[in-house]
Amino acid sequence: MIKVGQIRLTESVKAHKRANTHKGYEEIWRIHLSTLCGDSVLRRVRTCDVQQWLDIVAASARTKVGAVLTKTSLQRAKSFFSGSFAYAISQGFMDGVNRAGSTHIPTGLRDSEETFAHSLEDIIKMILVLPEPHSTLIAVAGFTGARRGEIRGMDWPGYRNGAIYVSRCICEDGTITKVKTKASKDGIPVAPVLAAILERHWRRLGSPSSGPIFSGVRCGKPVSLNNALRIIKPILNRCGVCLEPESKHSEETGHKYERDASLPKWRGWHAFRRGVATNLHDLSVDDKTIQAVLRHSDVAVTQRCYIKSFPKQAVAAMGVLNEKAKSMFAECALQDAESAAGAANK
């Protein structure tokens, strides 16, 4: 970035950050920042320059129709700058404070889209309607809450003693990285219902002792979750009239395509991870335990980003408030009626 140490910075990000983080930094630089600050000399950049760049990117996003830049996207841009300056200072390219430290995110940008969590009912419906191995793939995602790369990194030797131990993450491009945090190395408990599903899956594959739990049909390598969607999405979006995919409908079909509303909508792979947190919370499992299941290093992340329903205690509290309000309304109505009757008698 920004002339000085660009190659070494790229190598540092690749070495110390996850592949998805590196990819995100590259996209932010290429799409939003390179034309603004690509010719700047790092040690000459001031905090006001960084703020101006963020303001320009934000202003451009506000004026473009259908712009996809959100507050979260701009926060990532700020993090990119902060990381770049931190690296430059540590390597001696520049001295002083981090130039991005005192900047702020401009206002007026749209919020990120609402995230979703698959309910237990959604997960079970998907398992029942999808063919194998996609049914088992959904079961693992829905009952373990594992991340995408972790699912691809699961292998049979790692499934032992009632848990799945994931030692690696495999990105869609085949890049292999370590699991996200130290806590992520902990085993993922396997519920008996999932154990039975995995047992059938294991036997269908010929009872293997090694290799990925989910592999491609022809290559034997870890399955591509993007490719799996080619099977999953058409089935979930089938027509409610003829149960055929939308792609098989034309003027000759005899009826208009209407999505089968009895099936859940696809909300993305990460919705299963949020689903585990939300479903456990709805079953009154405490947040620290949910944190352990998801293998987060901080329970605040679990609470802030993954539990997508109101706490049952809050719902119960509102129920108490409702009952109290009803009794007070009734009491006030009775008093009004008594007052009206007394006035009439006079």
149 lies in a domain?
yes
DSSP 8-state assignment for residue 5: T
Range in 100-104, 121-125, 235-239 the model is least confident about: 100-104
59 lies in a domain?
yes
pLDDT of residue 229: 93
- How deeply is 63 buried, as exposed, middle or buried, from its count of CB atoms within 10 A (0-12, 13-18, 19+)? exposed
pLDDT tens-digit readout, 133-150: 999 999 999 999 898 899
Between the alpha carbon of residue 310 and those of residues 81, 115, 175, 317, the distances in Å are: 36, 15, 38, 11
- How deeply is 186 buried, as exposed, middle or buried, from its count of CB atoms within 10 A (0-12, 13-18, 19+)? middle
Same domain, 261 and 324: no
Most confident listed range (4-13, 76-85, 294-303, 329-338): 76-85
pLDDT of residue 134: 95
Q: What is the DSSP string of 84-95?
A: HHHHHHHTTS--
Does position 3 have pLDDT exceeding 50, yes or no? Answer: no
Same domain, 133 and 247: yes
C-beta pairs of 300-304 under 8 Å, 24+ apart in sequence:
302/277
238, 266 contact by CB (below 8 A):
no
Per the rule left: phi > 0, alpha: psi between -120 and 50, beta: everything else, 330 is alpha
125 lies in a domain?
yes
Residues spanned by the domain of 262 = 120-271
Instruction: Give the pair of three-digit tokens for residue 246.
Output: 């939308």
Length of the chain: 346
Non-local (6+) Cβ contacts of 208 within 8 A are: 156, 202
pTM of the entire predicted model:
0.66
pLDDT of residue 35: 76
Please provide the average confidence, as pLDDT, over all residues in the chain.
80
Same domain, 174 and 315: no
Between the alpha carbon of residue 286 and those of residues 19, 163, 298, 316, 319, the distances in Å are: 32, 20, 14, 16, 21
305 lies in a domain?
no
Same domain, 147 and 64: no
40 lies in a domain?
yes
Count of domains for the chain: 3
Most confident listed range (52-66, 82-96, 186-200, 331-345): 186-200
Does position 315 have pLDDT exceeding 80, yes or no? Answer: no
Of 19, 128, 139, 38, give the one whose Cα is nearest residue 84: 38
Distance of CA 1 to the CA centre of its chain: 28
Q: Which element (helix H / strand E) includes 231?
A: helix 225-236
Same domain, 248 and 181: yes
Q: Rounded to the nearest 10 degrees, what angle do helices 225-236 and 134-144 cross at?
A: 100
